[in-house]
Amino acid sequence: MYLTTLPPIEPFYVTSPDLTKENWREKSEAKRAERDALIPPAWRLPASVLEDEERTDVTEVPGMCGLLNERELEITEIDDLGEVRLFSFLFSLAADPSYRAARQASLDWSLHRG
């Protein structure tokens, strides 16, 4: 009796009403293109980096991509955790967080898209 008085549970996801089995690929491509257009060209990895299918170690990408300045490259090469924490704290005080996050997201996206 108690269970019949509970409201129905809504799904945790919502599907777009105009999305069908026939058009989901087109919609997906359109959304990807929309997302890609928001990333400034200066922040995108060069095609030569993205097309190297034999690369299994991406740790050299920050140094070879040409997107990061000398200071930003120094940050990527820090191995000491204490130094990373201190540097991260100081850097966060000095830099615009939204700019920094957008640049990092564009690099992450470029490396992991597919």
Per residue in 37-82, pLDDT (tens digit) is 999 988 888 888 888 888 888 888 888 888 888 888 887 887 777 7
Burial class (CB in 10 A: 0-12, 13-18, 19+), 107: buried
Per residue in 4-31, pLDDT (tens digit) is 666 667 766 667 778 888 888 999 999 9
Domain ranges within the chain, ordered by starting residue: 80-114
Residue length of the chain: 114
The CA distance from 105 to 12, in Å, is 26
Per residue in 84-107, pLDDT (tens digit) is 777 777 677 666 667 777 777 777
The CA distance from 34 to 99, in Å, is 20
Find out whether 108 and 99 touch, Cβ atoms under 8 Å: no
Residue in the block written with tokens 């087109």: 26
